[in-house]
Amino acid sequence: MRSPHSREGENKMIYYGDRIFPVCPFNRQVVIAVLEAFLFGCWKIACPNKIICIFTIYKISQTISLLPNRKMHWRGSFGNHAGLLANVATAADDQVPLKIMLRHKCPDGDRVEFNVQVGHVDVASACSSSNRILCSTSHVRHYMSPGVTRTLVTTGKLRAAFFEPPGDGPFPGVVDVFGSAGGLMESRAAQLASRGFAAIAVAYLNYQDIPNDGFIDFDYFREAVHYLLNHEKVLKSGVGCVGVSKGGDIVLSMATYIPEVRCAISINGCNAVIGVPTKIDSHTTIPAIPFNVDGIINKSDGSIEGRYALHDPAGYPECIVPIEQSDSEFLFLVSLDDKDMDSSYYADCAVNRLREAARKNFVMIKYPDTGHLLEPPYSPHCFSSYHRMMDSNLVWGGELKPHCEAQEHAWAASIDFLRKHLVTSHL
């Protein structure tokens, strides 16, 4: 979808691709962007399960510009290469606070409907069928490229979604693990498959019949690795894994204790086990770092910052994942404005541990002004939202523009890293 612009001699039109929107010279108009979405949060809005964004069109000299309502967050310009959904904001904070857009199931993508309406429209009336719509168009963000297939996995104890690229293969395999909010998060695995990886998104908390035993049984993740390696279209030389937040320490453990894991990407994770202990096998269990209640920062809006909510891993060596024992390759992606975890310090500790063991099997990239939720590009930046397991509104951090730019860079770095260690090294 192209950015809106006026063409010479036609300054009363606004263009979205091949669609032409007439602009009245005397009446103010608004563009209503409505996104059907999964909203994971604690407060209700006027239009359930929809993200509403309002822009005002003004006639300025001989050009037409889109300017945001003064209460709206602005996510770059419509022409920003960061993509449409990175540019579409939720409504004002006092109307849609503490929301995060989640895509649990990916086949349909995210459809954004743009309606041009006359006069003042607020969020409460944006969904009204009585509004006068001059014209409309839509934009769809796809997570799965043509030919990618999605299969729900219920083999043994494993609960996951497997995404297979089109073609005969064999494809490099990747295990994708999200954080402690739980559920089955599929968007990143779908996008990995769209780039040639056989990716499996693994649920391990708060999903279907997965037991809550007070610890993580590592055999569960071994099962995910073996599922990939036993698939006829997956390379047998080994797999990669990607994890964010709590998933970060899981993938470090996978790279340490599962020989078939050749590389791991930790995104704003910890160098030690957090939350609940990890039972590696019948002889080894890594305990979790205790919470530091005094480190929690309570904000005036009721949300909390958990950056220092864990005790220093240095004081709990038994909780640290011994990654120096691993021959896998590591990529640490770190946000320097992470308000939820002290991820920069944890990554430094992990890298120092490798250096002390004379290991060079790591890369670390740090991103200034970037928050905890470092997702694939074109995902809307979320500064704060409700966390199901914590039963609180957590601050994730990050500034809009640098966060969106970091997501682009981190995604490209991740793809290059996985290809280098799963594909190039296989040749």
Tell me if residue 409 is catalytic: no
Catalytic pick from 139, 231, 372, 421?
A: 372
Distance CA 47, CA 305 (A): 29
Catalytic pick from 110, 249, 338, 342?
A: 338
| H or E element, residue 19 | strand 19-22
Distance CA 116, CA 100 (A): 26
Per DSSP, which regions of 61-102 are E strands?
63-68, 99-102
Place of tokens 């914590």: 390
Per DSSP, which regions of 336-407 are E strands?
362-367, 384-387, 392-395
Catalytic pick from 194, 245, 266, 414?
A: 245
Distance CA 213, CA 60 (A): 62
Place of tokens 């297939």: 149
CB proximity list for 184: less than 8 A, separation 6 or greater: 104, 159, 160, 161, 201, 203, 207
CB proximity list for 11: less than 8 A, separation 6 or greater: 62, 63, 64
Distance CA 190, CA 161 (A): 9
> Rounded to whole angstroms, what are the CA distances from 193 to 16, 198, 425?
30, 5, 19
In the DSSP assignment, the letter for residue 15 is E
Tell me if residue 372 is catalytic: yes
CB proximity list for 139: less than 8 A, separation 6 or greater: 1, 84, 111, 112, 114
> Rounded to whole angstroms, what are the CA distances from 335 to 76, 144, 219, 245, 375?
20, 27, 30, 11, 11
Cite the DSSP H helix spans in 316-399: 343-356
CB proximity list for 291: less than 8 A, separation 6 or greater: 309, 310, 311
Tell me if residue 104 is catalytic: no
105 token code pair: 């199931």
Give DSSP secondary structure letters for 111-177.
Answer: EEEEEEEES---GGGTT-TTS-EEEEEEEEE-SS-TT-EEEEE-STT--EEEEE-SSS--EEEEEEE
Residues serving a catalytic function are 245, 338, 372
